[in-house]
Chain A
């Protein structure tokens, strides 16, 4: 059974209450259609599970098959540096067919962040290393495709279906 090798720290992007009994970690790729399909499932799950679960997203771009995935991941990080990781994350996962650099800058503009600073970070690939760190921590944890989920550190191998994920989370919370 594969397990999360890199513990969740304040370095991660975390949504939800810090003292939630359950931590759900997703390794995902912004250009992966399965991640796009899982996105509303995760959102609904977080809404239903309330303060019993916190959610962590880590980057796992399969750049050779998804040519926009790496820069999209860096864009989410660059927005994160300006405090808007989750809004960019949601935008990317709901606009998977428009992830070119022009689109990324548009999204940054819509979020009201400093677009020059954002563009500079993309051009300089300031977050390339951070994205690769996420990727390699996923590889070491047995991530074999996207999305891959871990519930309290154990890999969740079931489908990304709301009821099944909810019951796995309730089980972990019990």
Chain B
């Protein structure tokens, strides 16, 4: 898959901006907690919209494959944490959904994937290496589920853990 990022999305080689976002109504998650492991950031426009549903369902099936690379997946949208909770429960999602809710879209802006005209994020993928550097990014048309082939290829291209 080509890395056809929009001009705004942060590109490979950029240090991934840190964040500290709610993962549940009373817990927060920081990117830097994952240092030492690859992270897959999945920005998506909204809980409950049909394409997102397919996308998160697909990733849910693939957590074991991502785990082979030691990678963690984090979903991010502007939905609030109660909404995420209901959505994750309904779809039996096994990866955290973070709320870029207040200030709205701030993290998405820092990654260059906020659609200010719409009030939600692009459908964007970032693979971040164990040092916290973006190694691959991809922005899909909002209505198109980007699949997982690009993520797996990007994880494979990362230097092997412990190889250095």
Contact = CB atoms under 8 A, between A and B. Distances in A.
Interface stretch (A11-19, A38-46, A108-116, A137-145): A137-145
B152 A140 contact: yes
B1 A64 contact: no
B131 interface: no
A24 B26 CA distance: 50
B57 A65 contact: yes
Interface string A130-174: 000001100111111100000000000000000000000000000
B147 interface: yes
Task: Give the secondary structure class of A's interface.
Answer: loop
B43 to A, nearest CB: 16
Interface string B48-66: 0000001101101110010
Contacts of A2: 1, 147, 149
A64 B57 contact: yes
Contact of A142 (B61, B94, B147): B147
6 A-B pairs with the lowest CB-CB distances in the bound complex, closest first = A144-B147, A144-B145, A145-B54, A142-B147, A142-B149, A64-B60
A144 B61 contact: no
10 contacts: A62-B57, A62-B61, A64-B60, A65-B60, A135-B61, A139-B58, A139-B147, A140-B152, A144-B145, A145-B145
B148 interface: yes
Interface residues of B, number: 19
B149 A62 contact: no
Nearest to B140: A144
Contacts of B60: 64-65
A63 interface: yes
A55 to B, nearest CB: 22
Contacts, number: 46
Nearest to B147: A144
Interface of A: 2, 5, 62-65, 135-136, 139-145
B148 to A, nearest CB: 5
B149 A140 contact: yes
Contacts of A136: 65
A127 B154 CA distance: 30
Interface string B121-164: 00000000000000000000000111111001000000000000
A60 B125 CA distance: 22
Contact of A145 (B58, B62, B149, B152): B58
B28 interface: no
B92 A139 contact: no
A144 B57 CA distance: 10
A65 B92 contact: yes
B91 A65 contact: yes
A139 B57 contact: no
A111 B138 CA distance: 47
A63 B61 contact: yes
Contacts of B145: 144-145
Contacts of B148: 139, 144
B151 to A, nearest CB: 9
